[in-house]
Chain A
Amino acid sequence: MAEADVCRDYLDLLERIAGLEASRVIGVGAEALLIEGYLGGLHVVAKYRVPKVYRAEQLDAHLRRFRTALEAKLLGRAAAAGVNVPHVIYVDAEEGLLVLTYIEGERMKELLQSGCEDAEKLAGEIGYMVGVLHNEGIIHGDLTTSNIIVQGGRPYIIDFGLGFFSHRTEDAGVDLHLFKRALESTHPSLVEGIFSRFIEGYRSARGSVAEEVLRKVEEIRMRGRYVAQRRRKLFW
């Protein structure tokens, strides 16, 4: 398929830009290409925001630059706050390239599916980390068990591609709501235990603010944000 050729072109480009020794294409997302490799002997993952031929060049360049820089800032701020995230090794926002440390380990999704004894303890740690992120005004935007990797018994939060900075209770509430929805769709039988430990950890990071956010989560759920609220707006 043509896709393989396209990938090879990108790999050449990455080597030229960053001196990356690519070993494997991890995935071709809608927006970016994920490549595992080595940079100066360090095991890394490169996220390359592919230029889109359907967009005007100027717009495309702006979006790739803006999003790459934002993701790097989110990750940097998260790491400085002590949250387990991949470290930023190299950023070239102009080229849409972000190189991060490779987190080796198993995804939380598979861990839960195969029955993990430490699941609830991990959930508590994840809740704490998300609480710290929210204290810093970092909204992840795509909290799912696919975006948590457990390395040496410690959970890491990855993929801040849909993240943004905000201190609004609403945005924090949506973050938690999406995480719960993801648990419900992927691990229905484990939701109660996992989510309550997650909330415990979240509370210990955020203190009294947590109650406000949790009320918001309930409100978002009750107003059926993804059905009833939108239907009023969608059709005229």
Chain B
Amino acid sequence: MPLVLGIESTAHTFGVGIASEKGEILANVNSVYRPIAGGIKPSEAAEHHSRVAPVVLRRALEAAGVSLDSIDAIAVALGPGLGPCLRVGATLARYLASLLGKPLVPVNHAVAHIEIARLSTGLKDPVVVYVAGGNTVITTFVEGRYRVFGETLDIALGNLMDTFAREVGLGFPGVPKVEELAARGKNLIPLPYSVKGQDVSYSGLLTAALRLYREKRYSLEDLCYSLVETAYSMLVEVAERALAHTGKSEVVLTGGVARSPVLSDKLAKMARARGARFAAVDPELAGDNGAMIAYTGALAYASGLTIPVEESRVRPLWRLDEVEVPWRRQTSAAIT
């Protein structure tokens, strides 16, 4: 059974995972950079990653109980993400691949979130709702790739919630704190509900919510409740459009915001009303992590996807729908 070591460093998390193509996860060690104040500073996050990299790597090998020699390939998330952060992971991956003479496997971070969710939930061919600090995408597999059916036109859902929480003094991470207050809110305040065809737009919602907060006309509980209701309903609506359009019968939630019980509940209700199945990724694997890169790298490696070290430039703007997904073609052929 070939083992792949995967490295994640696209944003605030530096992680190393070890996994096989069959979905055995032998190690998943992660270290998250926390800014003292404000949002992520790419250069500081990159410094954090370089500092913790050797320790995280060693702990992952210890957890898996394997030596570097028994690893068959090195996978790395080359994008999308923050350039300085990506370079830390890529540098370590190139070094290990060169040192050990093992193949290097390029992994798209978004594809990894999808694959780990399919593994974790057992759903075969779902409409995927991928929500995190930097991403909000509705996607599903069509003809060899994950096609984007809808996405945010400006900021991501996680970014909306984190920024709001920070500005009103709730701290990081934003989603659980805002949801906690939202549970005590009762009155729905009208906020911009911006669904444009298949896409959503969150920046106007953030501006409006912050303006209302500063005007102090409403309780923070009611404001959080209205923000959560509006932002999540927009997302579920476009997910439902994708489900109706593609005729698929499964919905999966993945990414850092997948830990939200409120969002899960809304998606589950939508899916039930349409006779579809719903599941969210295991909370342990929801945020950025090394295991998802290792597992997706193992799938790619089994399909013969490798990259020469000299071509392994980082790809900060690497779009999900540019990535060929050859292992899905094989699985769907095997099923039919």
Contact residues of A with B, CB < 8 Å? 1-3, 6, 28-31, 52-56, 58-59, 62-63, 141-142, 162, 227, 230-236
In the complex, A30→B149 CA distance in Å? 14
Q: Is B296 an interface residue (CB 8 A)?
A: no
Task: Report whether A62 and B190 are in contact in the complex, using a CB–CB cutoff of 8 Å.
Answer: yes
Q: Which residue of A lies closest to B39 (CB)?
A: A236
Contact residues of B with A, CB < 8 Å? 79-82, 134-135, 151-154, 159, 188, 190, 193, 197, 229-230, 233, 236-237, 240-241, 243-245, 265-267, 269-270, 273-275, 316-317, 319
How far does the Cβ of B29 sit from chain A's closest Cβ, in whole Å? 25
In the complex, A230→B274 CA distance in Å? 31
How far does the Cβ of B191 sit from chain A's closest Cβ, in whole Å? 9
Task: Report whether B245 and A234 are in contact in the complex, using a CB–CB cutoff of 8 Å.
Answer: no
Task: Report whether B275 and A30 are in contact in the complex, using a CB–CB cutoff of 8 Å.
Answer: no
What residues of B have a CB within 8 angstroms of the CB of A62 in the complex?
A: 190
Q: Which residue of B lies closest to A142 (CB)?
A: B197
Task: Report whether B269 and A53 are in contact in the complex, using a CB–CB cutoff of 8 Å.
Answer: yes
Of all A-B residue pairs in the complex, the 4 with the closest CB atoms, nearest first, are: A30-B244, A235-B80, A54-B266, A30-B241
Task: Report whether B275 and A3 are in contact in the complex, using a CB–CB cutoff of 8 Å.
Answer: yes
Task: Report whether A232 and B317 are in contact in the complex, using a CB–CB cutoff of 8 Å.
Answer: yes
In the complex, A30→B229 CA distance in Å? 19
What residues of B have a CB within 8 angstroms of the CB of A162 in the complex?
A: 197
Task: Report whether B317 and A55 are in contact in the complex, using a CB–CB cutoff of 8 Å.
Answer: no
Contacts A/B (CB < 8 Å), 13 sampled: A2-B275, A29-B244, A31-B240, A52-B236, A52-B240, A53-B270, A54-B269, A54-B270, A56-B233, A58-B188, A142-B197, A230-B153, A235-B316
Task: Report whether B233 and A59 are in contact in the complex, using a CB–CB cutoff of 8 Å.
Answer: yes
Q: Which residue of B lies closest to A232 (CB)?
A: B317
Task: Report whether B267 and A235 are in contact in the complex, using a CB–CB cutoff of 8 Å.
Answer: no
Given known A30-B243, A55-B233, contact A235–B154 (CB-CB < 8 A): no
